[in-house]
């Protein structure tokens, strides 16, 4: 009889422990649920503005100029003109040389509306469009970083 009582006590204690463990794992605390929803709402407010882009919010048409880095000369005076009709002209003049390159063609806006892709006969460049500036991107379409990054910015004239 004594052994039956011990078995019953162990069984009851294990049942209580299992119940407490189950309850603690499946807590439906309304504060936790509300906090998660608040965080989601905050995130949506920050990242969901797809209406305003460089293409439709900035005065991007015009001529931009800057001196980009050159491996074997003091720099390349670079001029890009973006026109309303989707065409561009590009000029690269190597400083301290009598060498210049000119091209023209069309450009397209990438899906996000902040990058223009210039495609000409010999030109294949991407620029991020900012307020009164174009930022030249690398071959993969990423912003150039490092010591020389500031030299890849063309300012609007």
CATH code: domain of residue 97: 2.40.128.640
> Which tokens is 79 given?
């001029």
**List of the chain residues with pLDDT < 50:** 8, 10-11, 13-27, 29-41, 43, 48
Q: Which tens digits make up the pLDDT trace of 44-85?
A: 555 545 577 889 889 999 999 999 999 999 999 999 999 999
Place of tokens 């052994």: 3
101 & 85 share domain? yes
25 & 72 share domain? no
pTM of the prediction? 0.67
Count structural domains, the chain.
2
How distant is the alpha carbon of residue 22 from its chain centre? Answer: 43
DSSP 59: -
103 & 32 share domain? no
How distant is the alpha carbon of residue 78 from its chain centre? Answer: 25
> Which tokens is 97 given?
């040389």
Instruction: Give the pLDDT score at 51.
Output: 73
Instruction: Give the pLDDT score at 52.
Output: 74
**Structural domain boundaries enclosing 18:** 2-47
Q: How many Å is the maximal CA-CA distance in the chain?
A: 109
Rg of the chain on CA atoms, in Å: 31
38 & 19 share domain? yes
């Amino acid at each position: 009889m004594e052994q039956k009582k011990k078995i019953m006590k162990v069984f009851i204690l294990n049942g209580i422990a299992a119940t407490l463990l189950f309850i603690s794992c499946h807590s439906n605390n309304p504060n936790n649920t509300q906090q998660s929803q608040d965080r989601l709402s905050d995130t949506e407010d920050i990242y969901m503005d797809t209406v305003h882009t460089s293409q439709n919010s900035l005065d991007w048409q015009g001529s931009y100029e800057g001196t980009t880095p050159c491996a074997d000369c003091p720099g390349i005076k670079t001029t890009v003109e973006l026109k309303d009709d989707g065409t561009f002209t590009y000029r690269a003049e190597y400083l301290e040389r009598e060498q210049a390159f000119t091209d023209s063609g069309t450009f397209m806006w990438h899906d996000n509306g902040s990058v223009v892709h210039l495609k000409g006969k010999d030109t294949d460049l991407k620029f991020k469009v900012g307020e009164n500036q174009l930022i030249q991107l690398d071959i993969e379409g990423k912003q150039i970083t490092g010591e020389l990054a500031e030299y890849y910015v063309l300012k609007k004239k």
